Chains A and B, each alone.
Chain A
Amino acid sequence: MGEPPAGPGAGEAPLPKSAGESPPTPSPEPPGSSERRRARWADEAFGAFALAAAATLVALPVLLVLIVGQDAQAAIVRFGPAFLIGRIWDSNLPPVTFGASTFIAGTLETSAIALLIGVPLSLGGAVFLAELAPDWLRAPVASVVDLLAAVPSVVFGLWGLYVLVPYMRTSVDPFLAKYLGWSPLFAEHAGSQSGASILTASIILAIMILPTISSVSREALRATPDSQREAALSLGATRWEATRLGPLAYARTGIFGAAVLGLGRAMGETMAVTMTVGNSDNFASSLFDPGQTLSSKIAINFGNAVGLERSALVELGLILMALSLLVNVVARLLLRSMTRIGKAGV
């Protein structure tokens, strides 16, 4: 796939001079020089292969943008910017109408709530593991927390469907509705009692991003020099105050970057959300309502869609890609400044 031939000068590395440029003796030993020529040729060939692989790394994202853009073109031309704010997704009405706003809202809503739940939890865990836990406890517990990242998304979905959804239906949703039902966010509507809802999907997402946020912020906390903790303790701060003034303040950029990284993961997540969000194309005004995200809409409908609807689904993918690229770039910038600070501080 897309392997351009080695361009001119591709094989001219500065290093193999030692192999190529021997003293200009008038070739007294033919076997040696032919061996050298062969080695040089092999060097060139190896460089060309490596170049082809690197060119593949460059070509894939370029090709991705071209193909996805091409496939989405029909929908972009037909609906224009109105696609972003349209609420109706109907391929049966005489003028077929596709709008993405419900799904964009679903993606933003679920990943925002996932952060609200996941960040305090994983940050608390990271503080415990990085600052409080004794050494013999730290490494094993941290490894077990990280193992959560190895569980496939579809298994989270299956677990969500058979464990979390019934639990939400029988316990969590009624409890929240009883005490917070006065707010429209927690209002119970007809048809919202199944347990599969925006809130359920958000909780699954929160669990799935725990290992990401936890491990990155753990590293940020541990990069804090001891002097920061000692300074606070020597002024009479309690253990918590020392943690807040020292590591938590020092690592805040890294922690923020970890949260943004988690946001990126949450937005792109597909299977677990598809299986627990309820899959309703109607706008979810309450957290108990079933909803749909960009990724779950693609997963549910792509197999049966043809023509304009498929193009509209691809455009949903384009929006999803733009959102997660934006978030990932922000996370990368934040985390890069963290490593810079970390290096300067130590």
Chain B
Amino acid sequence: MRPPKRRRRRAKSFVLLGLCAVAVLVMLAPLASILYTCFVNGAGAITPSFFLKNPPQACNPAAGAPCPQGGVADAILGTLLLVGLASAIALPVGILGGIYLSEFSERPLARPARFLADVMTGIPSIVIGVFVFGIFYFVAQEGWISTFSAVSGYTGAVALAVIMIPVVARTCEESLRLVPTSIREASLALGIPRHRTIVRIVLSSARGGVLTGALLAVARAGGETAPLLLTAGFTTGSIFGLSGWTPSLPVLIYQFSAGGEPNTTQLAWGAALMLVLMMLVISVGARLALRNRFGGRTT
């Protein structure tokens, strides 16, 4: 009576745990497939003109004129400008906010600020796009600004900054909290003023974690598409500053994904390859940096 039942339980255990192992393989497959297709379809697009030229205007291969290959120069520039301005706004505000949450946590504003920062990170990014567009639309309608319209690079950069600020603040707070209290007390006991203690001692000891968090937030902003679609717009022409519609790599991928000219599809794949590689490098780099700091504990 007993052995067959035992064998069945053993077999069940073997099968179910085997399925778990298969699940890991299935989870790894999409990443492999995405990397593979990006390389196969996009590697051909990465030529010097990819970085130097703009997308080809409508061309007519049937009439004998070959389509120029084109590139995504201004989308790269646009992404750099958008993410650069967004970081210039979000990093100081976020890091100072993180300092407040960690170092002034006894003050009354700390708890609501932490809670609302968490709420903010849970809001879908497209809603942030709707929100920031709403601000600039309102401001433009009231006539407070006349140099740029509601859909502009400035709007896009602010939208990215709004997404980044709570993330930077919370990761900065978490890193600062890892600094032992005794170090703060030692510094204060030596008569060093509080602001110098925070900047020179606390922030400086936690700089690895703070920088990594900031870098991850910047990378995330570089891959954001939905809010930029609503706020920064898109153009295949050249850009002059951020006051007009500003193309970016993610929005370019979306706009060119539907095809049309064969070259634009290839440009979309090239841009996707570039974006994915950048994200993976930053993500792996941040992971390694964090591991070195915190003694290799990865769950």
Within 8 A of A (CB), among B65-92: 92
B219: interface (CB < 8 Å): yes
Q: Could you tell me if A240 and B13 are in contact, using CB atoms closer than 8 angstroms?
A: yes
CA distance A332 to B121 in the complex (A): 12
Q: Please, which residue of chain B has its CB at the minimum distance from the CB of A46?
A: B195
What is the size, in residues, of chain B's interface with A at 8 Å between Cβ atoms? Answer: 102
A332 close to B27 (CB less than 8 A): no
Chain A residues near B199: list those with CB within 8 A.
46
Tell which of B47-55, B56-64, B236-244, B280-288 binds the partner: B280-288
In the complex, which residues 60-87 of chain A have their Cβ closer than 8 Å to any Cβ of chain B? 60-64, 67-68, 70-71
Contact B112 A154 (CB under 8 A): no
A151 contacts which of B34, B100, B127, B282 (Cβ < 8 Å)? B34
- Cα A31 to Cα B299 in complex, Å, equals 54
CB-CB under 8 A from B254, the residues of chain A are 154, 157, 271, 274-275
Please state if B279 and A151 are interface contacts (CB–CB under 8 Å): yes
Instruction: Check A153–B138 contact: CB distance below 8 A.
Output: no
The answer to whether A268 and B123 touch across the interface, beta carbons within 8 angstroms, is yes
Which residues of A119-151 are within 8 A (CB) of B?
120-125, 127-129, 132-133, 139, 141-145, 147-148, 150-151
> B20 an interface residue at 8 Å Cβ cutoff?
yes
The prevalent SS among residues of A at the interface is helix
Closest to A162 in B: B37
Alpha-carbon gap, A15 to B188, bound state (A): 8
Of the candidates A58, A64, A143, which one forms a contact with B131 in the assembled complex, judged by CB atoms under 8 Å apart?
A64
Given A50-B96, A153-B223, A158-B268, A57-B283 contact (CB < 8 Å): no
Known: A159-B37, A162-B41. A54 touches B110 (CB 8 A): yes
Would you call A43 and B195 a contact (CB within 8 A)?
yes
Q: Does B124 make an interface contact (CB < 8 A)?
A: yes
Given known A57-B117, A64-B131, A321-B127, contact A50–B103 (CB-CB < 8 A): yes
List the B residue with the shortest CB-CB distance to A44. B195
B106 close to A (CB within 8 Å):
yes
Would you list the 3 A-B pairs with minimal beta carbon distance, nearest first? A268-B124, A152-B223, A124-B23
Instruction: Please give 20 more A-B residue pairs, beta carbons under 8 A apart, in addition to A145-B27, A159-B33, A324-B123.
Output: A19-B194, A54-B113, A60-B165, A61-B120, A63-B131, A64-B131, A124-B22, A125-B23, A128-B17, A147-B284, A151-B276, A153-B223, A154-B225, A154-B272, A159-B38, A163-B37, A269-B124, A298-B130, A303-B229, A320-B127
